[in-house]
A and B are shown apart, each in its own frame.
Chain A
Amino acid sequence: GNSVTQMEGPVTLSEEAFLTINCTYTATGYPSLFWYVQYPGEGLQLLLKATKADDKGSNKGFEATYRKETTSFHLEKGSVQVSDSAVYFCALSVGGTSYGKLTFGQGTILTVHP
């Protein structure tokens, strides 16, 4: 079946530090890959996505590259801010009978200190 594995959290960083959150996946077919972010007390919102191998998704200074050879979609940001403190979810979607359904990783809590 399909699955997503994220690095264990929580992750605690100082403002302006470099961020990497690892994400690897197992999927049948050719999935689309996503990062969703959940700010405190809110629902999830799409941060970025990539739909085919070697695509790079980017938004708000965050980037992730779809690596088919390593089945990975790691999230990076060069300089984090306190406002980036949130829970980050990696997710995938495949076609066929699963079309439109997302499979999520367990989430990684990020805390950024001033």
Chain B
Amino acid sequence: DADVTQTPRNRITKTGKRIMLECSQTKGHDRMYWYRQDPGLGLRLIYYSFDVKDINKGEISDGYSVSRQAQAKFSLSLESAIPNQTALYFCATSDLQGVDTQYFGPGTRLTVL
């Protein structure tokens, strides 16, 4: 089984809808991250969490919120989706020892019409 899983893998939604992307990990890592990937822009950090009680904004947090329900679960929400949030979203984890090495999930492809 994969160490970092994301659900759903693909989602099409309409402008104004609320949507939640979920991430679960079995690696036992404390640190979790949400990125979005856009063609030609690489990956940009949305939010990150260094433990259950610590949540921080990344470089592009506007329009997004997160919830760290447990050490193993980190969810990303779009409260009112808009078309320019169409992207590939990745969850990642790291531990305190190998903090620079991040382990990525397979991604969620989100399309906002």
Chain A residues in contact with chain B, CB under 8 A? 4, 32, 34, 41-46, 49, 51, 89, 93, 99-102, 104-107
Rounded to whole Å, the gap between the CB of A89 and the closest CB of chain B is 6
Chain B residues in contact with chain A, CB under 8 A? 4, 31, 33, 40-45, 48, 50, 58, 90, 92, 94, 99-107
Query: Is the beta-carbon distance between B43 and A41 smaller than 8 angstroms?
Result: no
Query: Is the beta-carbon distance between A106 and B50 smaller than 8 angstroms?
Result: no
Query: Is the beta-carbon distance between B105 and A43 smaller than 8 angstroms?
Result: yes
Known: A43-B4, A43-B90, A43-B107. A101 touches B48 (CB 8 A): yes
Contact among B42, B50, B100 for A104, CB-based, below 8 A: B42
CA distance A104 to B45 in the complex (A): 9
* Chain B interface, >50% SS class: strand
- CB neighbours (8 Å) of A105 from chain B are 42
Q: Which 8 A-B pairs have the closest CB atoms?
A: A43-B104, A104-B42, A106-B42, A100-B99, A44-B104, A104-B43, A93-B100, A43-B106
Known: A43-B106, A49-B100. A101 touches B45 (CB 8 A): yes
Query: Is the beta-carbon distance between B50 and A100 smaller than 8 angstroms?
Result: yes
Known: A100-B31, A106-B41. A42 touches B106 (CB 8 A): yes
- CB neighbours (8 Å) of A45 from chain B are 103-104
CA distance A101 to B47 in the complex (A): 10
Q: List 10 A-B contacts (CB under 8 A).
A: A43-B104, A43-B106, A44-B43, A46-B102, A93-B100, A100-B94, A102-B43, A104-B44, A105-B42, A106-B41
